[in-house]
Amino acid sequence: MNKIKNLFGDSWTEVTENVTWPKFSELQASSTLVLVASLIFAMVVGLIDFLFKSGLELFYQSF
């Protein structure tokens, strides 16, 4: 039981005193970057899916 208490105490000390938290503006910039990258990735995957679907439809229609 004492080990668990020490673990939580040490964890709390680490989080409150030793962790360097980013500023809100840095979080906004990072979130925007992730959002834009996710949208670009989704569009690329959608385009690849569309091209494969169209290619397979042409292939199947040739028979």
Give residues with Cβ within 8 angstroms of 30, minimum separation 6.
Answer: 22
This prediction has a pTM of: 0.65
| Residue 63's pLDDT band (cuts 50, 70, 90) | confident
pLDDT digits (tens, 9 = 90+) for 19-30: 999 999 999 999
Contacts 24+ apart (CB under 8 A), 49-56: none
Other Cβ atoms closer than 10 A to 52 = 10
